[in-house]
Structure 1
Amino acid sequence: MKKAYAIVAITKKGVSQARFLHERLPDSDLYYPKKWVFGDEEEKDIYVIDGSMATLLSSLFLSYRGLILFMALGAVVRIIAPLIKDKRTDPAVVVLDDNGRYAISVLSGHLGGANHLANQVANLMGAIPVITTSSDVNQKLAVDLLGVQYGWQLDSVQHVTAVSAAVVNDEKIAIIQEVGERDWWPSSIPRSEQFTFYSSISSESRIKEDYQGAIVITDRLLHQQEWNDLPEKTILYRPKTLVVGIGCNRGTSASEIESVIFSTLEEEGLSWKSIDHLATIDLKRDELGLLEIHQKYQWPIVFYTKDELNQVSIQHPSETVYRHIGVYGVSEPAACLSARTNQLLLQKKKAGNVTISIGRLEKGVN
C-alpha cells in the first residue's frame, strides 16, 4: 500500500470510470471485483478482489490517506460509519456515481483534504464537485487549515468548531500574529471587516470584550493573564519558527537529548510544536541519539562543517571543545547559522551531556 489514494468500484460501469481516473491520478491504487476484469490488471498493478467489499473498505480505511469510491453514497455511509473516529486521523472519503458526474466530499473535508480531493478528481473526470462545508460554500476562512502550506500546527482542537462557527456566522474575530509567515491568508478568500489583526496580546486592546473569537499565531507559551485577555473561543497556531542548536557527547541517549530540548523550551517559554529543525556539526551525522529524535519527531537536522561553525563569532567560545573537535562551539554557531542571526533566544545552556541553543527564523521576526 505505497500510494496515497485507493480507488474502489463495484459495478461494471463504475469500473470503467475508475480505470479512467486511475490512469490520470498517479498516486493511486485501484480495486474492483474479479467479475469485471479486463485481463490487463497484473500489467497495470490493479488489485482484483474476490470477496466482501465491506471487508475490503474496512482494511483500506486504515491504509490510505484518501478513498475514492464509485459506489452509492448510502452504501458508503453504512460501511464507513463504524470506522469513523476523529477528523484528525480519518482519511478523506470522496464518492462518485457510476457515470462519474458528481464527486462528493463525504468525510474529512478540511483536515483530511476531501474537499481538495473532490475538486481534483472532478477536474480529472470532468465531473461536478459537491462540497457542503459552510466555510467553502460561503467563501469563509477555514480556521482548521491556516498555514497548512507552511506546516503550522494547531496547539489544540478544543475550540476549532466554535471558532469555525463564529467565522461562518460573521462574528467578530481577532487575529493575533506574533511570528510566522505573513502571506498565509488564502488567496481565494476575500478579507473582510470581520477580522482585525494585532501583533500582540494586550489587555488595552479589549480583545476579550470586543471579539467573539480569536486566532493566535505564536511560538510562545502564553501566560495565564494573556489567556484571561482572550475570548473563550480561541485557537492557537504554532508556526515552524524555532531552530534548536545541539551539541552532545558521543553516545548521548535520545532520551537525554529529548529531555533537555523539552525542558529548556519550557523554561524559555517556547512551544516544542514550533520547532522547525535541529542544527549541529557534521561529525554528528551518525549520532544515534540525534537520529532517533529525528525519526520520532520528523525534525530535519542541518549539519555544518567545522569551517562553517568557526566563521561565526559567538559569545561563549570554548577552548576545551576546540581542543577536542576543532571548533569553539557547536550549538551556538549552528543555531546562529540556521536562524541566520546572531541574536539568539537562548545563547547556550549546558545540561549533562547536552549543550543547547535556540534561535528564531527570520520569517518569525516582527
Structure 2
Amino acid sequence: MNISVVCFTKSGYELMKKLKDNNELKFKYYCKCRSLKSELEQEKENIELENSELQKQLSVEYVDEKISDWAKKEFESHHGILFIGAVGIAVRAIAGCVNDKLTDSPVIVMDDLGRFVIPILSGHFGGANEIAKDLSDLIGATPVITTATDIHSTFAVDVFAKNNNMKVVNREGIAKISSGMLEGKELSVYVSKEEMIDKKTIENIKPDLVLKCKKYALGIGCKRGKSEKEIEEFIIGKLLEIGVSINDVAYISSIDVKADEVGIIDFAEKNGIQFITFSKDVLRGIEGEFSESNFVNSQVGVGNVCERAALAVWDYDAELVLKKQAENGITLAVSTGWNKIRF
C-alpha cells in the first residue's frame, strides 16, 4: 500500500528524512510547513535537472491546498495517510472523508519527535494497526494501539475476514462478535461460498455474523507504463461482459517483473484488492492449456502471464472463467477458486 506522509513543522520534516533513509514501506512525501516552501521548491528543481527517478520518488511535495482537500484526494486514491503532527490536525483533515470502516483509508498519526505512533482510523480492515507497528519498529517509537480486541489479545473477526478475502454481509455483526468475544460469550459466524446467500439457511441458523468468500482473481499483463485509468476501463468492461462484480475479486496477480507497475498498483489500491506477483518459474509450473506467446516468452521467460497468474493464487479448485483477453497492450484472464482458511 502507498502511504502518503505529511508533516507540518521543521522537526516533523527532519523526522520525515529518517523515513526516507529507511524506506521499507511505500511512502510518498508531502509538507505543509510554509517556512520550508522555498527550500522544497528549490530541491524539486534540482531533482528535475538531475532527472533521477529515485530522487523523484523520494522528493517532498509542498501542499498548497487546504489539508482537508489534500486528505480527500488521498482517500479517493485509497492511500494510507501518516500525519506527522498533532492528532487534532489529522482529525480535522479527515473529518469529511470518514465513511465506512470496511473501505476507509488507514490513518496514522506520529508526533514530530517520533516518540509515539497512533492508528486513528481503519485499524483492522484498513491495516492501520499493523502499519503503526511497522513504523514504530522503523524509527524506534512506541505504537499506541487502542482497539479492544488487540489490547485484550482476542479474536478480531474483521481481521479474519480481511486476511481470508471475505466480504462482511451484516456489518453490525462485527461489533456483536467483538464485544461478545471480550465477554466470553458463545458466538456463531456463517461463511458462504455461494454467489447468492440462502436466506432460509440464515434464518434457521441465525448467525451473529455472515461472511461471503470473494471467489475471483484477475491475472494481468501489460506494457510498461499503462495508466490506472486504461487498466480500469479494460478490466471493468470485461468483468461486466461475464457478470462479475469488482467487489467479488479477491486477488490481482501478475509476474514479479510487474511488481512495481504503477497502473496495476493504483488500480488494486483503489479497489482494495490484494496485488500478488509470481516468479516466472512458479508461473511455468502452473498446469493447463494456455495461449502462449513467443514474444512474451522472450521478454519475461514465460509464454503466458495472465492466465497462469490468475490460477496461481488459489490453493484448490482453480479454473479459468475468462481466458486471455488482450486490448491496447493489456491482457486479462479471470479465474475462480478457493484458498484454505487462515487464522
SS in 1 for 2:96: helix
Distance 1:68 1:362 in 2: 33
Distance 1:74 1:362 in 2: 42
Contact kept, 8 Å, 2:118 with 2:144, in 1: the verdict is yes
* TM-score in terms of structure 1 length: 0.55
Q: Are 1:258 and 2:242 an aligned pair?
A: yes
Aligned to 1:106: 120
Structure 1 residues 87 and 360: CA distance shift in structure 2, 3 A: closer
Shift of 1:170: 1.7
Q: Give the alignment partner of residue 90 of structure 1, picking from 78, 81, 104.
A: 104
Aligned to 1:350: none
- Matched pairs, number: 245
Identity of aligned residues (%): 22
Aligned to 1:228: 203
Q: What CA deviation, in whole Å up to 9, does each residue of 1:233-267 have, x standing for no partner? A: 22224164899xxxxxxxxx9588525x79xxxxx
Aligned to 1:151: 165
Structure 2 residue identity aligned to 1:165: S
Shift of 1:273: 4.1
Structure 1 residues 147 and 275: CA distance shift in structure 2, 3 A: closer
Distance 1:63 1:30 in 2: 15
Point out the more displaced range, 54-63 or 138-147.
54-63
Aligned to 1:62: 76
Distance 1:80 1:53 in 2: 9
What are the ranges of 5 or more consecutive residues in structure 1 without an aligned counterpart? 174-213, 244-252, 263-271, 278-295, 309-334, 345-357
Distance 1:12 1:94 in 2: 19
Distance 2:249 2:63 in 1: 44
What are the ranges of 5 or more consecutive residues in structure 2 without an aligned counterpart? 48-54, 219-236, 253-270, 277-285, 293-310, 320-334
Q: Are 1:219 and 2:193 an aligned pair?
A: yes
Distance 2:91 2:161 in 1: 31
Structure 1 residues 216 and 11: CA distance shift in structure 2, 3 A: same
Q: What CA deviation, in whole Å up to 9, does each residue of 1:117-169 have, x standing for no partner? A: 11111111110001101011111111112153443333442422222221222
Shift of 1:223: 3.6
Q: Give the alignment partner of residue 176 of structure 2, picking from 147, 150, 162.
A: 162
Structure 1 residues 362 and 159: CA distance shift in structure 2, 3 A: closer
Aligned to 1:119: 133
SS in 2 for 1:95: strand
Q: What CA deviation, in whole Å up to 9, does each residue of 1:18-76 have, x standing for no partner? A: 22113323411111135223654553322123454344333333334211001111222
Contact kept, 8 Å, 1:144 with 1:160, in 2: the verdict is yes
Distance 1:81 1:256 in 2: 34
1:5-20 to 2 correspondences below 5 Å: 5-20=3-18
Distance 2:108 2:249 in 1: 32
Distance 2:44 2:249 in 1: 46
Q: What CA deviation, in whole Å up to 9, does each residue of 1:177-214 have, x standing for no partner? A: xxxxxxxxxxxxxxxxxxxxxxxxxxxxxxxxxxxxx1
SS in 1 for 2:77: coil
Structure 1 residues 274 and 28: CA distance shift in structure 2, 3 A: closer
Point out the more displaced range, 60-69 or 113-122.
60-69
Distance 2:289 2:7 in 1: 54
1:1-366 to 2 correspondences below 5 Å: 4-25=2-23, 26-32=25-31, 33-36=33-36, 37=39, 40-41=43-44, 43=47, 44=55, 45-146=59-160, 148-173=162-187, 214-220=188-194, 221-231=196-206, 233-238=208-213, 240=215, 257-259=241-243, 273=248, 304-305=288-289, 361=338, 363=340
Contact kept, 8 Å, 1:5 with 1:27, in 2: the verdict is yes
Distance 1:82 1:306 in 2: 48
> Quick check: which one's helix share is greater?
2
Distance 2:87 2:205 in 1: 42
Structure 1 residues 145 and 15: CA distance shift in structure 2, 3 A: same
* TM-score in terms of structure 2 length: 0.58
Larger Rg: 1
